[in-house]
A and B are shown apart, each in its own frame.
Chain A
């Protein structure tokens, strides 16, 4: 310590751990007291022990050293004077939202660089060590992951948290006809699996993204948690009203997502699911057989809307910053669209929806007609979301095109 050592140090109790450690290192028993008597602080003694200074070296050092002089263990509080921006006093700009990420993005701390160069784990705006290990991140370009909306959306997501265990009135569930209950359960089985997989795949990509863009990682963390909640909410609904889990979800589409080789490809392939599931949930009142389901779809839609906003703004930002990658996106979207269209012809995907929309197994014809309009709404919303992101598909899937134009 560079301050004058206190007399108190000389008389203070020396913790037994320090004495034991000194003995292990071969220090003479009186050496610690000698050091304190000479005016060294307990901290300096501790650091010498931490540095594994052996008994002979310590004795040697003490014979000549003066407190306050050069020392191999003398702390300098170097971290107190590193040249980072100082004097930041962030305040909540909106009392209802509290102290948000946007509020602390002030001064240089708010600069999100186009390219982040630090390969270690470092907080944006802190003072880097001269050398650190590479943590293995692979994504360093802002254009690939960023959308300005992640900063406010993170806080909105935290504020809009809910619990399936207590925010849905499970006790109000009443028995449905067996076919209708099984239709609900088949849909829940599919949605639960799709949610779980999306949470997993986003989680898998999280460690790839460097920390220059931490707000984006925070936002994706909220989406992953949303996906967990959707997984268990749908499962709870399937197991709480006399039904059970049905056939697992189709895998054609999810495999396309899994096969993504880059983050832009991942998001391009997820775009159609993020959009079509949002539309589905927004039509929750047509599907719901009771209040629990209406509330469930409304809450899930609110979560999904945040992800969709990110999808749209990220794609728009990406295409603006990297126009040479615009055409390329057609490959990924084409692949994803074709698999979703295949899954939309699967009877295990369609029939439960038709029963629920029609109002019973004996109403499937009416249900199929309503499903056709739902599919049309999903297709139109998808194309509209792409349009908002400034993207027009050059080779939109034929079946989707028919739905949009019908």
Chain B
């Protein structure tokens, strides 16, 4: 770099005009100009060079003398998921508004125990969604700018989780109820993660997987159009978070198979001896409120329990199926007894 001239110095440096030869001409596809269309040539993830602990985005020319920042992952396999470009763009396209996209006027008077059950479930969910925003934030700086699409995906997840947190808070405060008892524990496991893959398996695959299986039963849990739609819209977002986690795990197992046992070890902590991390529906308040909602009344608790068992079974089996897709099917033999009892 030439010595820095003053602002109006007439002699120009212009060395930056000659940094590359090849012109790049990305053209929009069916879904517009997405990250996929610009993932080409020497800018593509497949052409990823080594990282340098600066925020130089993939394909930019290194600046002599650039400061390094904190340590981040040097290898792509630590963070990558093949679907992250598509998932980020989908997130941008499918943002929704809890204020305007939920038909709040369809909330009606529910019997008191039903309203209380919905408010208790919402209290638990508004809490659970907090952590799902904080954890990606904690890991952002550890993602190399060489893999910036992963960073963009995590940023979209932070936005999604903010919306989930507030939509459940709004629900608790919109129908004559209020927030009830603090529900969760076990969330620390997620923010205790020290490694990206550990975080992603525990949060994206397991915890968000459990939450997703619950959201997908939203038609049975919700008793108003507003409630059903909250679950449906949130499930749409969770499916992206989950898909990232499953494909990240697959990428790790495909490219670094020696990490298999290590990954089991993380899961042992989360599902080996307990019933599952966040998204666990067996906590007293959550279990009881779900049974009331699924049964359709406090007097139909036992019917609710039958459906609750269906939900729990679905949670566990879908979780196992996702692990199989990612290449960790041998988890089936290792899950703790509280999950194993629900396996098909």
Q: Report which A residues bind B (CB closer than 8 A).
A: 1, 3, 6, 8-9, 12-13, 15, 17-18, 20-21, 24, 41-43, 46, 50, 75, 77-80, 82, 84-92, 97-101, 104, 106, 109, 120-123, 125-129, 132-133, 135-136, 154-155, 158-159, 161, 163-166, 168, 170-171, 179, 182, 186, 189, 192-193, 196-197, 199-207, 211, 214, 217-218, 221-222, 224-225, 227-229, 231-232, 235-236, 238-252, 254-255, 258, 342, 344-348, 350-352, 361, 364-365, 368-369, 371-372, 375
Of B197-205, B212-220, B295-303, B327-335, the stretch lying at the interface with chain A is B295-303
Known: A78-B181, A155-B99, A159-B99. 14 other contacts (CB 8 A): A88-B173, A92-B99, A123-B126, A127-B180, A128-B182, A171-B27, A196-B145, A228-B152, A232-B35, A232-B88, A246-B19, A247-B16, A350-B7, A375-B7
Complex contact A248–B62 (CB within 8 A): yes
Whether the Cβ atoms of B159 and A199 lie closer than 8 Å is no
Most A CB atoms within 10 A — which of B32, B113, B163, B338?
A: B32
Contact in complex: A232, B191 (CB < 8 Å): no
**Measured between C-beta atoms, what is the minimum distance from B224 to chain A in Å?**
14
Interface centre among A24, A104, A236, A248 (most CB of B within 10 A): A248
A1 proximity list for chain B (CB < 8 A): 301
Within 8 Å of chain A (Cβ to Cβ): is B260? no
Residue of B nearest to A218 (CB): B162
Are the CB atoms of A18 and B309 closer together than 8 Å?
A: yes
Q: State A374–B173 Cα separation when bound (angstroms).
A: 48
Chain A residues closer than 8 Å to B141, beta-carbon distance: 200-201, 203-204
Within 8 A of A (CB), among B13-61: 13-17, 19-20, 22-28, 31-35, 38, 40, 43, 54-57, 59-61
Q: Given the interface contacts A123-B127, A129-B182, does A158 sit within 8 Å of B16 by beta carbon?
A: no
Task: Contacts A135-B191, A224-B155 given; indicate if A41 touches B60 (C-beta within 8 A).
Answer: no
Q: Does B100 contact A (CB under 8 A)?
A: yes
B13, A240: Cβ atoms closer than 8 Å = no
| Bound form: Cα–Cα A171–B30 in Å | 12
B324 at the A interface (CB under 8 A): no
Q: Tell whether, in the assembled complex, residue B55 and residue A193 are in contact, meaning their CB atoms are under 8 Å apart.
A: yes
Which residues of the partner chain B approach A101 to less than 8 Å between Cβ atoms?
166, 170
- Please name all residues of chain B whose beta carbon is closer than 8 Å to the beta carbon of A200 when the two chains form the complex: 55, 140-141, 151
- Given the complex, which residues of A lie within 8 Å of B32, measured CB to CB? 163, 165-166, 170
A41 touches B95 (CB 8 A): no
Q: When chains A and B are docked, how far (Å) is the Cα of A101 from the Cα of B137? A: 22
Nearest chain A CB to B82's CB is how many angstroms away? 18
Among A192, A205, A221, A231: residue with most chain B CB under 10 A: A221
Contact B31 A121 (CB under 8 A): no
Chain B positions within 8 Å of A218 at CB level: 162, 165-166
Q: How large is the interface on B (under 10, 10 to 19, 20 to 34, 35 or more residues)?
A: 35 or more
Interface locus among B65-73, B239-247, B262-270: B65-73
Task: Tell me which residues across on chain B come within 8 A of A86, comparing CB atoms.
Answer: 177-178
Neighbouring B residues of A100 by C-beta, 8 Å? 99
Once the chains bind, are A79 and B285 in contact (CB under 8 Å)?
yes
Other-chain residue from A126, A158, A245, A348 in contact with B97 (beta carbon distance below 8 A): A158
Number of cross-chain contacts by CB at 8 Å = 384
Q: Which residues of B contact A (CB under 8 A)?
A: 1-2, 4-8, 10, 12-17, 19-20, 22-28, 31-35, 38, 40, 43, 54-57, 59-63, 66-67, 69-70, 88-89, 92-93, 95, 97-102, 104, 113, 116, 120, 123, 126-127, 130-131, 133-138, 140-141, 145, 148, 151-152, 154-156, 158-159, 161-163, 165-166, 169-170, 172-182, 184-185, 187-188, 191, 282, 284-285, 288-289, 291, 298-299, 301-302, 305-306, 309, 313, 337-338, 341-342
Given A99-B170, A244-B20, decide whether A166 and B54 contact each other with a Cβ distance below 8 A.
Answer: no
- Contact at B155–A352, with CB atoms within 8 Å? no
Contacts of A8 in B (CB 8 A): 302
Shortest C-beta distance, B333 to chain A (Å), equals 16
Q: Could you tell me if B99 and A251 are in contact, using CB atoms closer than 8 angstroms?
A: no
Contact between chains at B16 and A348 (CB < 8 Å): yes
Q: How far is the CB of B64 from chain A (nearest CB, A)?
A: 9
Known: A121-B127, A166-B32, A240-B26. A248 touches B63 (CB 8 A): yes
